[in-house]
Structures are given as structure tokens and as C-alpha cells.
Amino acid sequence: MGIAGKVEIRSVRKHYTVDGDRLQILSGVTFDVGSGHFLSIVGPSGCGKSTLLRLIVGLDSEYEGDILLNGERIGGPSRARGIVFQDHRLLPWLTLEQNIGLSLENMEWSAQDKAEAVRGQTALVGLSGFENAYPHQLSGGMAQRAAIARALINKPGILLLDEPLGALDAITRIRLQEELLRIWRVEGTTMILVTHDVDEAIFLSNEIVVMSAHPGYISKRFIVDLPSPRDRAGNEFIELKRLILAELHLYRQKAQSDTENWMNMASLI
Amino acid sequence: MSNLSAAACTVDATETAGKPAAVRSVSLKIGEFTRRFGSPVGLVLPILIVALWQTAASYQWVEPVFLPAPRKVVDAFWLMLTKQDLFFDFLASMNIVGQAFVYGSAAGIGLGTAAGLSRKFEQFLGTTVDTVRHIPGIAWLPLIVLWLGIGAPAKILVIAKSVFFPLFLNTLQGIRSVEKNYIELGQVLLLTRRQMVRKVILPAAMPNIMVSLRYAAGLAWALVVVAEGLSGLEGLGFLIFRAQGLLLTDQLLVCMAIIGLVGFVIDRQMYALQCRILRWQQGFKG
């Protein structure tokens, strides 16, 4: 069982050079994720939230500042961090079981232990019975569950979620959000979720950081201390959503707009 | 043709779904036949062609010396099989094709993989490969026969060369078009270089490799006839040119029919193999 990791991000700056032009993606991003916490990063597209996740997972090591995992600087991918991408990224030529087992490929476990772990993980994400299915035979939701199982089977201290539910339909998304919450409770892993769905962020996390774009920086940090299970339609939920949307400049008081008032009245008649 | 093949592949996919054993054993023979050789609809045209041939022979539209009746060709086949060495000539051709195909494709996949993984190695081979590739196998044959004699080795070498290039190029191309996302996934999962090649890169290149294997198998079979016709004293290619020289048109047609049928079987077997290996693929089935 992995120990939930603590992540410290210290004035991280990142730029790309495109055709000789310097394109600043992240400008001094700083925040912490406590061990066992569920933190969501919300922001408009282009704010560098996915780039930040790539830095944390270790796919890209060219950046300024520090990203510390349990006090040590990250240098390349490691078993301590698992990631789920927006596309499930299951290998089409491997069965579900083989895809999940791919994480254990160079672990020095006996074949029996590996099979056991795969079985357990498959059950955890509710895919028992589909072990021998190929990815094209799975629905989007099932494929994403399998991707979560693949990321968790190593028992990483930190699970990075890069808009994992972004490509799913609304109903499957809500189901999988509940599933993620359950998995988080069972595994106790530190979770960092990148999303642009504010509801999703509030439903799942202890903490939400809002990012702004061009170049990306943390504009505000929210602590979510709503009781669980969370009521998606409850007043506190809605209130927090209003604050976050306002931070994203996506919310205006209805009263400010005459047109919208007229439309509201029209809908009452 | 491709229509039939696609149908065959679909049957393969559904056939494996767990049917009760009793039902399976009954439908197995027909299913097996359809899967391997396509639906009986494919037999209609060959039957029409034979009928036309028979008519042309009966009415002597062509002189019998140039177009013997089907019956005479069947007789010639029996004669060649029982009184002559048809079977050994057939084996001689198969032996050459089999060896050439194995060597050529092994070298093609091996070097293609190496070039795909290392740009340096690709550049190292590039000039040579692209020049040699344009000298047809048959143009190599005279020189190689001078070196190795008219026996099997010269033909094996020349055909292996012709098998090598499609495999080399397609393997290289297949590896170069592996999605970067999959490589990234492999990095995140900490796969070693070896595991990355075995689990990610080669399977991703497999559709390209399988297509070129099927193509190369057909090419090799076609080339053996030419190579044997140009040099040597055995094999179907030798028989066909000898029959022409001796004006044994019936024997010539026997050889042509065998070459066609064997080519057909080789192609269908390669296609069945392709369907099996690429069963994870979800494609347009027509």
C-alpha cells in the first residue's frame, strides 16, 4: 500500500519556444497539496493546467522552480505517481486485463501476484467479467474506468487526473465522479484533478485552485468544506459554484441584465 | 476479391463467440471453408470461365494445339502427377518460396525495426536501400547465378531480396507512425526500451507489417515462376517454359492452373493469419 504523497509546487514557470518566439505558459505557480487531499485545478483552456500536470507526472522536466514530492524534487516519471489522461489511452491490441497489467510489467512480482492484483483492481473499478475484452468493445465510461485501474494498480501515492471525464456524457460522468470518490476513500491516494467542470471540482475536492490564462497563474484558492455526500443542488454547493464561476469571469448577477430579466419573465408566463 | 476477404474476416470474429459444441461441430466444416476461401458466390465466375473454355474448345474457335479442352488438361495433370515428377517440381518451388519468404521477411522486419527505432541507422541504410530497391530481383538473377550456380540458393537469394523491401519499408513506416500518446503512456508506466518495443511499438506497427507480409507472399510466389523459368532444371516455372518450348499446351495450362490455385491458397492463408493477429482491430467490414 503506497503512502499518500504530499506535493509542493514552488514558483513554477514554464515556456515553450515556437518559431523563435517565447510563449510563456506558466508564470510562477505556487501551491501545496496535502497528503491524502483531493485538489482540483479549474481554469479556462490554455491556462496551462494540463502542462502543469505533465510537469508533475514527470513527462517534461524543462521548467523553472521546484516541484517537490514528499520534499524531493521530481525528476522523470515514477511509480509514486499515476496518471489518467482525457483519452483513456488503453492500447487497442491488449485486452482489458493486459492493459491494466501493463503497469506491473517490470515489477518483480510473481505472475500469480500480478494476476491477483489485476483481478482486485478490475473489481475495484467494477469491470469484473470484462477481463478479456478489447478496448474497442468497451464503452467510453468502461474504458476510462480501466484507465483508472491501470493508474492505481501500482498503489501510487498520487493520482493525477487530466480531465479524465471530459469526453464522457453527462450521466456517465456523474456516475464516474461518485466512483472516483469511492476509490479515493478506499485507496486514500492524494488526488490532483484538472477539469473545466466546476460542478465536478466542487463535488470531488477538498480544495480548488482557479487558474487564469496567458500566462497561467493561480488566481484564487478555495477550500471546500461541505459535508459529504455532497448535494449537487444544495444551497452551499450553488453558492460556492457562484463564487468560482465569478472568479472565472463566467458569472453575472441576473439582475444586471435586462434582456435576461425579460426572458425569465417570459418563461414564467 | 476484397469484398470476399472482408466477409471471411467477419465470420472469423463471430465464429469464436461461444456457441454450444454440438452446433459448432455441424457448422464447422462450412464455416471453416467459408472463412478460409470465401463464400461459394466466388465460384460462379470460375465455373463460367471453364464453361466458356469448354465451348471454345468444342467448337474449335482456337486450334487444339493452342487451346486444348479442359478434359485434356485434366488428363495431362494426371499424367504429370503419376508418370512425371510434377509433385517434386511443386515441392522444389514451394521450398524456394518458403525459404526466401522466411529469410526475406525476417531480415525486412528486423532491419526495418532497427531503422524505425534509430534515425541514425535509417540514414546509414537509406541511400543503399533506396538504390538497390530499384534494381528488380530478376535483374540480379544473372549475376547471382554466376556466383551461386543455377540451383536453389540463387533463387532463394533473389526472391528473399524482393520480399525484404516491402517488409523493410512498411515496418519502418509502421514504427514511425506509432502515436506519440502511446509512447508517452509507456514512459509514464516506466516501460524499459525492450518492453516499449515489444508491447507498444511493434504491435502498433503490426497492421503495416501484416499487409506487407501478405503482399510479399504473393510476390514471392509469382517470382519463383520467373526465376525458375530463367535458370535451373526443376520447379513449376521450369515446367511451364519447357512445355511452351515443346508445344505441350495442356501441360502448360496445368502449370498455370496450379500456380494460380497455390497463389490463391497462400493469399487466403495469409489473410486468415492477418485477421487472427489483428483481431484487436475494429475496422470497416464492408
Q: What is the pLDDT of residues A129-146, one digit of tens each?
A: 898 899 988 888 889 989
**Grid coordinates 485477421 are at which residue?**
B275
- Which of B189, B206, B282 has its CB closest to that of A103? B189
More confident residue, B64 or B9: B64
Q: Which residues of A84-98 are buried (b: 16+ CB within 10 A; e: fewer)?
A: bbbbbbbbebbbbbb
Q: How far is B190 from chain A (nearest CA, A)?
A: 7
Residue B54: count other Cβ atoms within 10 Å of its Cβ.
13
Number of CB atoms found within 10 A of residue A265's CB: 9
Task: List the beta strands (DSSP E) in chain A.
Answer: 7-18, 21-33, 38-42, 64-69, 72-73, 81-84, 158-162, 190-195, 207-212, 217-223
What pLDDT score does B7 carry? 42
Using alpha carbons, select from B53, B52, B90, B83 the residue that is nearest to residue B68. B53
Q: Which residue of B has its CA nearest to A81?
A: B188
Cα–Cα distance measured from residue B148 to residue A87, given in angstroms and rounded to the nearest whole number: 56
Sole residue written with cell 470484462: A130
pLDDT at B2 over 50: no
Q: Do A59 and B184 touch (CB under 8 A)?
A: yes
User: Using CA atoms, how far apart are residues A194 and A183, in angstroms rounded to an integer?
Assistant: 17
Nearest Cα neighbor of B216 from B172, B256, B270 is B270
Question: Which set of grid coordinates corresponds to residue A235?
Answer: 444551497
Alpha carbon distances (Å) from A30 to A7, A12, A220, B272: 11, 7, 11, 57
Cell (9 digits) for B185: 503512456
Q: Do A106 and B190 touch (CB under 8 A)?
A: yes
The model's pLDDT over B188-219, given as tens digits with 9 standing for 90+, comes to 999 999 999 999 999 999 999 999 999 999 99
Return mean pLDDT, chain A.
Answer: 84
User: Which chain A positions have a beta carbon within 8 Å of B184's beta carbon?
Assistant: 59
Instruction: Give the closest of A79, A91, A134 to B190, CB-based.
Output: A79
For B81-277, give the CATH class: mainly alpha
Question: In this structure, are residues A4 and A188 in contact, taking their beta carbons and an 8 Å threshold?
Answer: yes
Alpha-carbon distance of B77 to B79, in angstroms, equals: 5
pLDDT tens track for A194-209: 998 888 999 999 999 9
Q: Name the phi and psi angles at B131, rounded to 5.
A: -85, -50
Q: Do A91 and B181 touch (CB under 8 A)?
A: no
Q: pLDDT at residue B10 above 50? A: no
Return the residue of B nearest to A136 by Cα: B282
Cβ pair B263, B218 in contact under 8 A = yes
CB contact B17 to A (< 8 Å)? no
- Asked whether residue B23 carries a pLDDT value surpassing 70, the answer given is no
C-alpha cell at B115: 531503422
pLDDT band at A263 (very low <50, low <70, confident <90, very high): low
The predicted model gives A207-217 an average pLDDT of 84
**Cβ <8 Å between B181 and A94:** no
Q: Which residue has the higher pLDDT, B12 or A188?
A: A188
Q: Between chains, do B182 and A102 touch, taking CB under 8 Å as contact?
A: no
Which of B182, B195, B282 is the closest to A106 by Cβ?
Answer: B195
Residues forming CATH 1.10.3720.10 domain(s) in chain B: 81-277
Q: Which domains does chain A have, with CATH numbers?
A: 7-268 (3.40.50.300)
Contact with chain B for residue A134, Cβ under 8 A: yes
Mean pLDDT taken over chain B: 84
Q: Indicate yes or no: CB of B199 within 8 angstroms of CB of A94.
A: yes
Nearest to B191 among A92, A94, A105 (CB): A105
CB contact under 8 A, B188 and A77: yes
Would you say A125 and A88 are in contact if contact means Cβ atoms under 8 Å apart? no
Which one of B185, B198, B277, B278 makes the best mutation probe of the A interface by having the most chain A beta carbons within 10 Å? B185
CB proximity list for B106: less than 8 A, separation 6 or greater: none
pLDDT band of residue B28 (cuts 50, 70, 90) is low
Please indicate if any CB of chain B lies within 8 Å of the CB of A133.
no
Window A:38-97, CB contacts with B under 8 Å: 57-59, 77-79, 82-83, 85, 87, 89, 91-94
Q: Is the pLDDT of residue B18 over 60?
A: no
Query: Does residue B103 register a pLDDT over 90?
Result: yes
Q: Which of A83, A87, A93 sits opposite B280 (nearest CB)?
A: A93
Mean per-residue pLDDT for A163-179?
A: 86
Q: Pull the grid cell for residue B124.
A: 546509414
Among the residue ranges A51-60, A113-122, A217-226, B108-117, the one predicted with the least confidence is: A217-226
How many residue pairs from chains A and B have C-beta atoms closer than 8 A? 54
Q: How many CB atoms lie within 10 A of CB A73?
A: 11
Is residue A258 over pLDDT 50?
A: yes
- Among candidates B182, B187, B190 on the partner chain, residue whose Cβ is nearest the Cβ of A91: B182
The C-alpha cell at A254 is 441576473
Using CA coordinates, name the residue in chain B closest to A154: B189
The candidate with the shortest Cα–Cα distance to A23, out of A56, A51, A1, is A51
Instruction: Among B188, B189, B279, select the one facing A105 at the smallest CB separation.
Output: B189
Q: How confident is the model at residue B229 (pLDDT cuts 50, 70, 90)?
A: confident
Alpha-carbon span A204 to B271, nearest angstrom: 50
CA distance A239 to chain B (A): 38
Judged by DSSP in three states, A21 sits in strand
Residue B187 touches chain A, beta carbons under 8 Å: yes
Residues of chain A with Cβ-Cβ distance to B189 below 8 Å are: 77, 102-103, 105, 150
Measure in Å the smallest separation between the Cα of A106 and chain B Cα atoms. 7
